[in-house]
Amino acid sequence: MPEPGREPADEYELGENRYGKSRIRLVTVRRDPKRHHLRDLTVAVALEGDFDDVHTRGDNAGVIATDTMKNTVYAFARDRLVGSPEAFGLELARHFAGYDACSRAFIDIEEHRWLRIPEDAGEAPDAFVRAGDLTRLAHVAVDKAGGVEVEAGVGELTVMKTTKSAFKGFDRDRFTTLPEVEDRLMATKLRATWGYRPELAAAASFEFDAAWDRARLALRQSLADHFSPSVQASIWIMSTAIMDAEPSIDWVRMVLPNLHHWQVDLAPFGLDNPGEVFVSTTEPHGLIDATVHRRGGARPPSG
């Protein structure tokens, strides 16, 4: 193995690489006279660029310290975290892409939601409870030329359908023991991400919050309404519903673990079980991952 600072040899070359700061925890409280506004984010920064010498020669010139990245996130939050997480991510990514050695900057944001505690007189102005329904996701990439990619989504969204889900007609061989079912419980902890049209996402007037709300509502409504012959079919149905509801979205990717609920056999106890008692399992589970995109539209990055 080459020693640090050794001249690159003909038989070696540096491949793709990036570095940054992950899991930057950030909470802000905007203190209006009558109402406080709470934000809770986890931010990650990653940079690509001309960083060969730090790897191959041990030369740190041009390297932006990851501690600097963390401090920049906090400094920008002082007066720039006033809108959507996507807009905040664009501010950060454009800043880091401006460094001489950086060719592309990536910002990933998870926003953890807090809800106001209800009181007799209405919602509390300064007391909150953590919402456990989902995490809002944002991913931003900005390159040296000003090119922009913006993705959004939801994560950790646990949902269940207690009917309108089946699985039958699948291939069978000598290792198949799974029975076909006309009506089953379907449960998952889904992650759905989508990509906005770059020319819209780069515009200062684009309303990320409104677009995210429309996409999330379409996801929830389509989940509740449709009959699911398989998790794969559900991904198609929900993804197309999201794009129908929000024309600015070019593609949707969904990752759905199939969290099984097996009906318990109560016959040994002299009892029937008309689809009322189940055992919940999380491992092992099926995992379905698919992307749906508009014909002729932008494609998501691979990976």
pTM listed for this prediction:
0.91
- Residues with Cβ < 8 Å from 99, sequence gap 6 or more? 47, 49, 62, 64
What is the number of helices (H) and of strands (E) in the chain?
6, 10
**Residue 7: φ, ψ to 5°:** -60, 140
Measured at the CA of 231, the angle between CA 229 and CA 235, to 5 degrees, comes to 110
- The full set of domain ranges for the chain reads 1-146, 157-303
Can 260 be counted among the known catalytic residues?
yes
Q: What is the mean pLDDT of the chain?
A: 94
Output the pLDDT for position 94.
Answer: 97
Active-site choice (70, 95, 260, 293): 260
Other beta carbons within 10 angstroms of residue 62's beta carbon come to 14
Active-site choice (42, 66, 240, 291): 66
Of 3.30.1120.10, 3.10.270.10, 3.40.50.2300, 3.30.1050.10, which CATH number belongs to 1-146?
Answer: 3.10.270.10
Tokens of 77: 């939050």
Can 189 be counted among the known catalytic residues?
no
Q: What is the pLDDT of residues 152-208, one digit of tens each?
A: 999 999 999 999 999 999 999 999 999 999 999 999 999 999 999 999 999 999 999
The CATH H-level (homologous superfamily) assignment of domain 157-303 is Urate Oxidase; (3.10.270.10)
Q: What is the pLDDT of residues 68-100, one digit of tens each?
A: 999 999 999 999 999 999 999 999 999 999 999
Can 21 be counted among the known catalytic residues?
yes
